[in-house]
């Protein structure tokens, strides 16, 4: 079979697995949760990053069963750890097609309602990199997820199609500042002006802000000085398989 068939069979065999990247409170140094990032662990043991298969999974529709499998696997990996730590959040990436239909909210409810992970611990990320097909419908899907108790983040803010209009129209709870702007810290003052503006915008809109792709102590210190509280990036940890993630965070949560 072709590559879509390979993805299909890989899902059936449980080869698409969650990696977990910690999200840190940079004021206290404590763990606040994680973001799930998919990896394809093939039968030969090799690990394939999402850049190599996610577009095809989205175009073919295989992303729908893949996302369900990831949510189930994350629930099973983290249930025990999250049960005793109700302040921890668990974030999943969704793609534009998930916001065409409220089915995703029913699926989330089915997967997590009987679990020790609470709905209030869940976060769903809508990326600005892809155009949403129907903003009003997407707003309804987001509202359904929020009615369940989950939170919704706008991901990759500043890079994409929706930009400020998505912030106004979607009713999200959280802004994720793209790595591109974090990278600008310590470079030229015009780029840093955009970081400062996004921080101010999140404050004024009463959104939580997560800075992504934080790689240096200098960036952490700049963000902290600006009042940013939440960050993820290689300076703390890369996305990790469940066993490494749990080993790392047992000590800090």
Decide if residue 33 touches ligand G (CB under 6 A): no
**Shortest Cβ 175–Mn ion spacing (Å):** 11
At closest approach, how far in Å is the CB of 177 from Na ion?
Answer: 12
Rounded to an integer, what distance in angstroms lies between the CA atom of residue 231 and that of residue 15?
A: 29
Interhelix angle 135-147/103-112, nearest 10 degrees: 20
Among 155, 172, 174, 211, binds ligand G (CB under 6 A): 155
Strand 31-41 to strand 47-48: parallel, antiparallel, or no bridges (unpaired)?
Answer: antiparallel
**DSSP E strand boundaries for the chain:** 16-25, 31-41, 47-48, 89-94, 122-127, 151-157, 174-177, 208-211, 230-231
Cβ atoms 161, 138 nearer than 8 A? no
Cβ 231 to Na ion, closest distance in Å? 14
Among 22, 157, 212, 222, binds ligand G (CB under 6 A): 212
How far apart (Å, rounded) are the C-alpha atoms in residues 148 and 133?
Answer: 23
Going residue by residue from 90 to 109, which x/- string records binding to Na ion, judged by CB under 5 A? ---x----------------
Encoded tokens for 191: 């780029």
Query: Pick from 138, 156, 166, 198: which binds Mn ion (CB under 5 A)?
Result: 156
Task: Confirm or reject binding of residue 172 to ligand G (CB under 6 A).
Answer: no
Does 3 sit near ligand G (CB under 6 A)?
no
- Give the footprint of ligand G on this chain (CB under 6 A): 21, 36-38, 49-51, 54, 63, 70, 93, 95, 127, 155-156, 179, 212-215, 233-234, 239
- Give the footprint of Mn ion on this chain (CB under 5 A): 155-156, 212
């Amino acid at each position: 079979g072709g590559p879509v068939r390979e993805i299909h069979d890989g899902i059936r065999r449980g080869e698409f697995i969650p990696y977990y990247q910690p999200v840190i409170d940079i004021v206290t140094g404590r763990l606040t949760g994680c973001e799930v990032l998919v990896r394809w662990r093939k039968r030969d043991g090799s690990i394939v990053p999402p850049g190599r298969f996610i577009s095809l999974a989205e175009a073919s529709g295989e992303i729908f069963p893949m996302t369900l499998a990831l949510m189930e696997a994350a629930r099973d990996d983290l249930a025990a750890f999250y049960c005793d730590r109700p302040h921890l959040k668990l974030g999943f990436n969704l793609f534009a097609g998930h916001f065409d239909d409220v089915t995703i909210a029913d699926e989330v409810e089915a997967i997590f309602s009987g679990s020790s992970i609470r709905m209030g611990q869940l976060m769903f990320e809508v990326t600005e990199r892809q155009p949403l097909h129907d903003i009003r419908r997407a707003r309804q899907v987001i509202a359904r997820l929020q009615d369940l108790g989950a939170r919704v983040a706008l991901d990759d803010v500043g890079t994409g199609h929706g930009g400020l209009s998505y912030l106004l129209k979607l009713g999200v709870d959280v802004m994720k500042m793209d790595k591109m702007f974090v990278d600008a810290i310590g470079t030229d003052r015009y780029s840093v002006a955009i970081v400062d503006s996004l921080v101010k915008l999140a404050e004024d809109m009463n959104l939580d802000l997560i800075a992504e792709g934080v790689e240096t102590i200098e960036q952490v210190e700049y963000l902290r000085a600006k009042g940013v509280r939440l960050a993820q990036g290689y300076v703390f940890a890369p996305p990790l398989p469940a066993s490494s993630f749990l080993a790392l965070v047992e000590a800090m949560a």
